[in-house]
Amino acid sequence: MLEKTDTPFKVLIIDDEPLLKNLIDQKFKFQIKNNQLQFLYAYNGLEALTLLEANPDIGVLFTDLNMPGMDGITFLRQLHTQKGKHMYRPVVISAYGDMANVRAAMNCGATDFIT
């Protein structure tokens, strides 16, 4: 269990599903209220890169694969090329759990793949 702190642990969620924010905010309302967790949301990979630049203290990020604009694999490739800047451990969450997608995500720097 997280303790109450002055600085919340930041989590970036990258997904184009509009209801996901409501679900996460509801599930973690206690931790958000007690300043233990702060969730940031990006609609696609391009928005995520902008948020990461403005928030280098993000602790973990979760990304979908299938999104408009910049998809998850392209985002992971971009993030992987900037690896010297910050050390992120991206986790992919996707319904597309076939081996080709898992392999592509892991080769681009994902640390885990949840389907």
Given the structure tokens 């910049």, which residue do they identify?
Answer: 70
* Integer Cα distance of 88 and 83 in angstroms: 8
Q: What are phi and psi of 32, to 5 degrees?
A: -70, -45
- pLDDT for the residue 73: 94
- Over the stretch 32-88, which tens digit does the pLDDT of each residue have? 999 999 999 999 999 999 999 999 999 999 999 999 999 999 999 999 887 655 678
Q: Which residues contact 91 (CB under 8 A, 6 or more apart)?
A: 60, 61, 62, 63, 110, 111, 112, 113, 114
Q: Is the dihedral of CA 81, 82, 88, 91 positive or negative?
A: negative
Domain 9-114 -> CATH class? alpha beta
Distance from C-alpha of 60 to C-alpha of 81, rounded to nearest angstrom = 18
CA distances (Å), 2 to each of 57, 73, 90, 95, in order? Answer: 17, 31, 21, 29
The domains of the chain are located at 9-114
Question: pTM of the entire structure?
Answer: 0.88
Do you know the residue count of the chain?
Answer: 115
